[in-house]
């Protein structure tokens, strides 16, 4: 009888080991299933990034007295496209007599480095003969565009599709021009 009880005790221990091993196996399989699901199926979930909020205003920089620039803020209609915003800024600078009335902005675009390429008509060269007028035109465009175009760092001027060294000998514009906060009033 002692041998039978001993054998029965051994069978119970083996059953317990099998049950424990079975439970551990199920836990391990569950963990592996979750891991594989996350690895192969959760990547297919598309997370829609929130579109950056568009500003409901634009800032215009224009010369006031001498060469100090003032800021003017214009309220906008909702959902204005970037090109419409830039056109409004150029139109406002013309109305403020900072830019030549006949000036045309043919196109504007930017690259991944934050350089804005602004292609203007020849009127920008022809009608900015005075040094103050050249400085006012260049930096009112540069400061206004950089402030209002997302991720912009500098402006590359093009006249009739080509880069030029200078408008009339004062500012070297063959390379991109950066924001000039020295001209802006506090």
Residue 185: predicted pLDDT: 79
What pTM, to 2 d.p., does this model score? 0.69
Residue 182: predicted pLDDT: 87
Helices 82-95 + 131-148 axis angle, to 10: 150
Per-block mean pLDDT, blocks of 10 residues, the chain (186 long) = 76 86 87 75 52 72 86 86 90 93 93 94 89 91 93 94 91 93 82
pLDDT tens for 100-114 read 999 999 999 999 999
Residue 16: predicted pLDDT: 86
């Amino acid at each position: 009888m002692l041998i039978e009880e001993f054998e029965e005790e051994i069978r119970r221990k083996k059953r317990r080991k099998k049950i424990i091993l079975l439970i551990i196996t199920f836990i391990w399989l569950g963990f592996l299933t979750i891991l594989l699901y996350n690895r192969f199926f959760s990547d297919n979930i598309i997370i829609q990034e929130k579109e950056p909020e568009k500003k409901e205003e634009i800032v215009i920089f224009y010369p006031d007295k001498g060469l100090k620039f003032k800021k003017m803020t214009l309220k906008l209609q909702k959902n204005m496209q970037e090109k419409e915003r830039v056109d409004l800024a150029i139109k406002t600078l013309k109305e403020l007599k900072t830019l030549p009335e006949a000036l045309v902005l043919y196109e504007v675009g930017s690259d991944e480095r934050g350089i804005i390429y602004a292609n203007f008509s020849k009127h920008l060269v022809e009608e900015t003969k005075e040094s103050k007028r050249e400085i006012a035109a260049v930096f009112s465009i540069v400061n206004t565009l950089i402030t209002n175009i997302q991720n912009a760092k500098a402006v590359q001027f093009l006249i009739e599709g080509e880069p030029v060294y200078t408008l009339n000998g004062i500012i070297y514009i063959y390379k991109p021009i950066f924001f000039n906060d020295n001209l802006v009033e506090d």
